[in-house]
Structure 1
Amino acid sequence: MVYYFTSLVASNVIYMGKDKFENEDLIKYHFPEDVWFHVDKHSSAHVYLRMSEGQAVDTLDPQIVEEMAQITKENSIQGKKEPMVKIIYTLASNLKKTGNMDTGEVGFHNRNIVYSTAVKRNKELLNKLRKTQVEIYPQDLKAVKDERDKKERDTKRKEQQVKTQQEKELIEKKRVEKLEKSYDSMFVDSKKGNKYDVDDVFGEGGEYTGSDFDDFI
């Protein structure tokens, strides 16, 4: 079973696994642009924020970060007992999973884009968030991920089609421009070939010298 919450600030979807096996499903079915939250140096649920268009992990609304931190702390056996804990978070695409890792365990591709925040328990906020909680099954996560991936493939295919068409149009434009330059060159050469200088017949200044037409007098 997977728990879904709704952010009180921006209606973002928040989801987390019930145990380490469901955490493994979340690793498998997250969106690359989701943001992963976890209690630092303690075991805890993996909690994910599904960002909306225009949101970025490094400029998240502090209130959304607070919500995520509260849910994460509350779902850590040890972290829940601590008066304050450090919560770490990063893009889900930054999570690294290797074959030698335990179930639910992850690492990072880049430690430099792992952020953190400190949090104390806020009972009032947690109660409000609990009212938005629903349960779904992991296969529903898979269906959502499959649909998302299909839309992404369709978008990329359309973008590639547009790019290919633009490249064809550019090639054709260059071909036409080259052809037009070739015609212009031929026309100029033709005019030069048919031209003669009036000085050749009439002499300098246009006066007839008689040298070329004496036989007709």
Structure 2
Amino acid sequence: MVFYFKARPDSGDYTIFMGLDKHENEELIKYGFIEDIWGFDPTSSPTKVEVHAIPMRLGNKVNNVDVVYTPWQNLKKTASMEVGQVGFHNPKMVRTVRVEKRINEIVNRLNKTKVERKPDLKAEREAVNAAERAERKQHLREKKRREDLEKLDKERQADLRSYKNLMVAEKMTSNKEIASTNKSLQELEEDFM
């Protein structure tokens, strides 16, 4: 079971994901997204906070709690770690915020937006990956098309500036042909002009 909360609707539409326990959080860790920010009390399970971090621990009944925040891609999971346990690739990307006192109005506001779901996180991640791949392919096709059009345009411009089409045998007239027309020199000059 995963709990979903809407946070800070006044400054943007942010979603907080929270696993029921460390097993659900393990799935959230495994199928996270690059834009995710993770926030958790180091003494408990991590909570996935999408896009924006809220400096508080849901359901925490104590004061003076440190909340650790880091981007999802900074989470480090090794085979020797317990379920729900994570480390960090780069400690410089980790921020700790001390929550001095639980603010009930924030917790109550978040709890009003609480939704419980049993998502297929793997399928959601695969769908997003497929959409991203399709978008990249579309951009590559568009880029290739633009490059091909630019190449054709450059070739056309080069042909226009080139003299190769001026001296084509089919467009040339010999002096014998001109003489056979029985035109006077003045008529030939007028035709030329």
Q: Which runs of 5+ in 2 are unaligned?
A: 168-193
Contact kept? 1:36, 1:92, Cα under 8 Å: yes
Flag the 1:186–1:112 CA change in 2: closer, same or farther, 3 A: farther
Contact between 2:40 and 2:69, CA under 8 Å: does it hold in 1? yes
Contact kept, 8 Å, 2:26 with 2:84, in 1: the verdict is: yes
**3-state SS of the aligned residue for 2:108?**
helix
Match of 1:70 in 2: 57
Residues 39-188 of structure 1 correspond to what in structure 2 (within 5 A)?
39=41, 42-51=42-51, 65-66=54-55, 69-71=56-58, 74=59, 80-81=61-62, 83-119=63-99, 120-139=101-120, 141-183=121-163
| Cα drift, residue 162 of structure 1 | 0.9
Distance in 2 separating the partners of 1:93 and 1:166: 34
Rounded to whole Å, the distance in 1 between the matches of 2:162 and 2:54 is 65
Distance 1:183 1:111 in 2: 66
Check the 8 A contact 1:22/1:138 in 2, yes or no.
no
Q: Do the aligned partners of 1:4 and 1:13 also contact (CA within 8 Å) in 2?
A: yes
Equivalent-residue separation in structure 1 for 2:4 and 2:126 (angstroms) = 18
CA RMSD, Structure 1 to Structure 2 (Å): 2.5
State the TM-score, normalized to the length of structure 2: 0.72
Cα displacement (A) at 1:186 = 7.0
Name the CA shift for 1:184/1:110 in 2 (closer, same or farther; >3 Å). Answer: farther
Distance 2:134 2:92 in 1: 32
**Matching residue of 1:15:** 17
Q: Work out which of the two has the higher radius of gyration on C-alpha atoms and give 1 or 2.
A: 1
Partner amino acid, structure 2, of 1:113 = M
1:121 Cα deviation from its structure 2 partner: 1.2
Secondary structure of 1:162 counterpart: helix
Change (3 A) 1:186 1:105: farther
Once the 2 structures are TM-superposed, how far is the Cα of residue 174 of structure 1 from its aligned partner?
A: 3.0
| Alignment gaps of 5+ in structure 1 | 52-59, 188-217
Q: Does 1:33 align with 2:35?
A: yes
**In 2, Cα distance between equivalents of 1:23 and 1:95:** 12
In the TM superposition, structure 1's runs of 4+ consecutive aligned residues that sit over 6 Å from their partners are: 184-187
Change (3 A) 1:163 1:22: same
Whole-angstrom CA distance in 2 between matches of 1:154 and 1:135: 31
1:111-168 deviations in Å (ceiling 9; x for gaps): 22222321121123212212221211142x3333233222212211111111111222
Change (3 A) 1:13 1:184: same
Q: Is the 8 A contact 1:88 1:117 kept in 2?
A: yes
Cα distance change, pair 179–110 in 1 and its aligned pair in 2 (3 A): farther
8 Å CA contact 1:16, 1:45 repeated in 2? no
The aligned amino acid for 1:145 is R
Which structure's residues are more often helix, by fraction?
1
TM-score (norm 1): 0.65
Secondary structure in 2 matching 1:16: strand
C-alpha contact 2:45 2:85 (8 A) present in aligned 1: no
1:110, CA displacement in angstroms?
Answer: 2.5
- Deviates most, 86-95 or 142-151: 142-151
The CA distance in 2 between the partners of 1:15 and 1:122, in whole Å, is 19
